[in-house]
């Protein structure tokens, strides 16, 4: 016996090299078994979605109760209390929109009733004699757009059409874009405005009036021409001369500097061009979306958990913006299905999944009954204005729920 062991030893362990190889094989097997047990412990996407939507339903019903009779809409948290807005604020459509998404997932009739209640509170925005915010596209598409998608109630359509009509009146053929704010001089157009085009595209389909689609395409073309840098990032604001249509200057409003890449601006741009390609099948919009996606996905400052800093050029220990992550996730899921670039498609999906898992973790997801009943923590409204810094924001919740629904619809898990 001793002889056999001695022979075995001489055969396999006589030089150190063999021992090292054996040790490495052992280490690799150990690491693989650890990785596979960690993988099998990862929460399934279905379980994650059930957990988040269950929380969302409880939080949003409680929030509805607190504002139902006030004529106001949840917006954020200020000084530790729920901050609300009137219906004229650009974010008023996100709360009913989130209620529609919660209804879409859970099919609870009481949530549907709340979604309808808060949606209808926005009807006056469509009246010709009420002031218009250039973000009427956000306000009406997130509320009425989802209401119509889920109920097919034709009585909702005149409000969408009247709102699209109001929005299209802010279009200047000279500039080739819809005006953002009413500045005393100049014609400002922000990248965020790409998001308002979805209402125009839908209105065009509903009414067969091509004029709305033409406005949307012209705005997207002008923005593509003037807002983007060679690396695919965008300026926040382009100021035009409204008489000549010439570009006067390019600057930021909510970003770190004129030359920086404000994270939510990149998110709006990405979402906007993916949506415009989906609605129009104009290939230039897909190419633009791919370029923006590559800027984001390959950026050296995009953290491993894929929740961006509030500005891609902010210091690495700066604040993160959950709202930008949620918007990007939603857009990346769509892009993964539209792009013909298989490598990019895979990366889009992997990144969106990481974003959704990160946002569903304790670091970002509120505990029940906390966070003034918002779902997500840690968004940034406008850091340069010291407004809504590291707080929940109604649109972070909205795009997070939207992205979860889209991911589930893919049926991967
Ligand atoms: N202006 C819209 C935003 O803050 O993203």
Give me the phi and psi of 257, to 5 degrees please: -155, 170
Tell me the best of 91, 181, 264 to mutate to test the pocket of ligand 1, counting ligand atoms within 8 Å of each CB and taking the most: 264
Ligand 1 mean position, distance from CA 37 (Å): 42
pLDDT for position 37: 47
Start-to-end Cα distance in the chain: 54
Phi/psi region, residue 378 (left: phi>0; alpha: psi -120 to 50; beta: rest), is left
Ligand 1 mean position, distance from CA 341 (Å): 30
Q: Can you tell me the distance from the alpha carbon of 311 to that of 299, in angstroms, rounded to the nearest whole number?
A: 12
Ligand 1 mean position, distance from CA 268 (Å): 9
Minimal-distance CA residue to ligand 1 atom 2: 192
pLDDT for position 19: 57
Rounded mean pLDDT, 124-133: 95
Ligand 1 mean position, distance from CA 398 (Å): 14
Rounded mean pLDDT, 29-51: 72
pLDDT for position 187: 98
Q: How many helices (H) and strands (E) does the chain have?
A: 15, 9
pLDDT for position 7: 56
pLDDT for position 23: 57
Strand partners, 84: 74
Q: Which atom of ligand 1 is nearest to the CA of 264?
A: 5
Q: Can you tell me the distance from the alpha carbon of 75 to that of 77, in angstroms, rounded to the nearest whole number?
A: 7
Of 63, 81, 71, the residue nearest 374 (C-alpha): 63
- 146-156: per-residue pLDDT in tens? 999 999 999 99
The catalytic position among 133, 192, 311, 397 is 192
Q: Which residues of 196-224 are buried (b: 16+ CB within 10 A; e: fewer)?
A: bbbbbbbbbebbebeebbebbbbbbbbbb
Q: Which residues contact 240 (CB under 8 A, 6 or more apart)?
A: 175, 177, 186, 187, 188, 189, 246, 247, 248
Average pLDDT value over all residues in the chain: 93
Q: How far is CA 284 from CA 203, 213, 287, in A?
A: 22, 16, 5
Q: How confident is the model at residue 25 (pLDDT cuts 50, 70, 90)?
A: low
Count of beta carbons in the 10 Å neighbourhood of residue 371: 18
Q: Can you tell me the distance from the alpha carbon of 97 to that of 114, in angstroms, rounded to the nearest whole number?
A: 11
Q: How far is CA 260 from CA 65, 205, 257, 301, 355, in A?
A: 41, 37, 5, 12, 22
Minimal-distance CA residue to ligand 1 atom 1: 192
Q: Are 301 and 233 in contact (CB under 8 A)?
A: no
Ligand 1 mean position, distance from CA 36 (Å): 42
Minimal-distance CA residue to ligand 1 atom 4: 381
What pTM does this model have? 0.91
Residue 8, pLDDT above cutoff 70? no
C-alpha 140: how far from chain center:
17
Q: How far is CA 413 from CA 44, 90, 101, 407, in A?
A: 7, 35, 20, 9
Q: Could you give the percent of the chain with pLDDT greater than 90?
A: 90
Q: Which atom of ligand 1 is nearest to the CA of 265?
A: 5
Q: Can you tell me the distance from the alpha carbon of 294 to that of 345, in angstroms, rounded to the nearest whole number?
A: 11
DSSP state of 91: T
> Who lines ligand 1 at CB under 6 A?
192, 254, 264, 381
pLDDT for position 413: 73
DSSP character string of 355-377 = HHHHHTSTTTBPPTT-GGG-SB-
Stretch among 8-12, 76-80, 312-316, 338-342 having the lowest mean pLDDT: 8-12
Q: Could you give the percent of the chain with pLDDT greater than 70?
A: 90
Ligand 1 mean position, distance from CA 166 (Å): 20
Rounded mean pLDDT, 100-126: 98
- 234-246: per-residue pLDDT in tens? 999 999 999 999 9
Residue 59, pLDDT above cutoff 60? yes
pLDDT for position 41: 83
- 176-218: per-residue pLDDT in tens? 999 999 999 999 999 999 999 999 999 999 999 999 999 999 9
Count of beta carbons in the 10 Å neighbourhood of residue 34: 10
Tell me the best of 76, 268, 326 to mutate to test the pocket of ligand 1, counting ligand atoms within 8 Å of each CB and taking the most: 268
Angle, vertex CA 269, rays to CA 263 and CA 270, nearest 5: 90
153 is catalytic: no
192 is catalytic: yes
- 237-272: per-residue pLDDT in tens? 999 999 999 999 999 999 999 999 999 999 999 999
Q: Which atom of ligand 1 is nearest to the CA of 268?
A: 5
DSSP state of 194: G
């Amino acid at each position: 016996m001793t002889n056999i062991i001695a022979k075995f030893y001489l055969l396999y362990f006589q030089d150190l090299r063999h021992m090292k190889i054996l040790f490495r094989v052992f280490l690799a097997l150990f690491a693989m078994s650890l990785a596979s047990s960690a993988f099998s412990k990862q929460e399934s996407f279905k379980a994650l979605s059930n957990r988040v939507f269950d929380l969302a339903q409880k939080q949003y019903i409680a929030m509805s109760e607190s504002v139902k009779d006030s004529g106001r809409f949840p917006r954020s948290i200020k000084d530790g209390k729920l901050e609300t807005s009137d219906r004229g604020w650009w974010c008023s459509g996100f709360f009913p929109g989130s209620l529609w998404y919660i209804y879409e997932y859970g099919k609870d009739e009481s949530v549907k009733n709340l979604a309808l209640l808060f949606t209808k509170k926005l009807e006056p925005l469509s009246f010709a004699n009420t002031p218009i915010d250039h973000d009427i596209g956000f306000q009406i598409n997130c509320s009425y757009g989802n209401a119509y998608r889920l109920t097919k109630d034709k009585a909702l359509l005149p409000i969408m059409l009247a709102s699209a009509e109001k929005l299209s009146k802010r279009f200047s053929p000279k500039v080739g874009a819809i005006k953002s704010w009413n500045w005393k001089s100049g014609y400002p157009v922000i990248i965020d405005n790409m998001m308002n085009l979805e209402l125009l595209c839908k209105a065009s389909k509903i009414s067969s009036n091509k004029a709305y689609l033409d406005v949307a395409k012209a705005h997207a073309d002008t923005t593509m021409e003037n807002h983007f840098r060679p690396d695919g990032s965008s300026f926040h604001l382009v100021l035009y001369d409204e008489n000549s249509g010439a570009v006067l200057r390019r600057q930021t409003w909510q970003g770190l500097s004129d030359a920086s890449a404000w994270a939510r601006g990149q998110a709006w741009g990405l979402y906007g061009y993916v949506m415009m390609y989906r609605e129009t099948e104009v290939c230039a919009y897909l190419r633009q979306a791919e370029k923006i996606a590559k800027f984001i996905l390959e950026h050296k400052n995009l953290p491993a958990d894929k929740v961006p800093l509030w500005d891609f050029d902010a210091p690495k220990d700066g604040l993160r913006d959950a709202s930008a992550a949620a918007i990007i996730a939603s857009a990346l899921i769509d892009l993964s299905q539209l792009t013909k670039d298989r490598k990019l498609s895979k990366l889009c999906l992997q990144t969106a999944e990481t974003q959704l898992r990160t946002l569903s973790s304790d670091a970002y997801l509120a505990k029940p009954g906390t966070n003034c009943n918002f779902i997500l923590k840690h968004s940034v409204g406008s850091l340069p204005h010291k407004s809504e810094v590291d707080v929940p924001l109604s649109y972070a919740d909205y795009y997070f729920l939207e992205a979860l629904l889209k991911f589930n619809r893919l049926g991967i898990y």
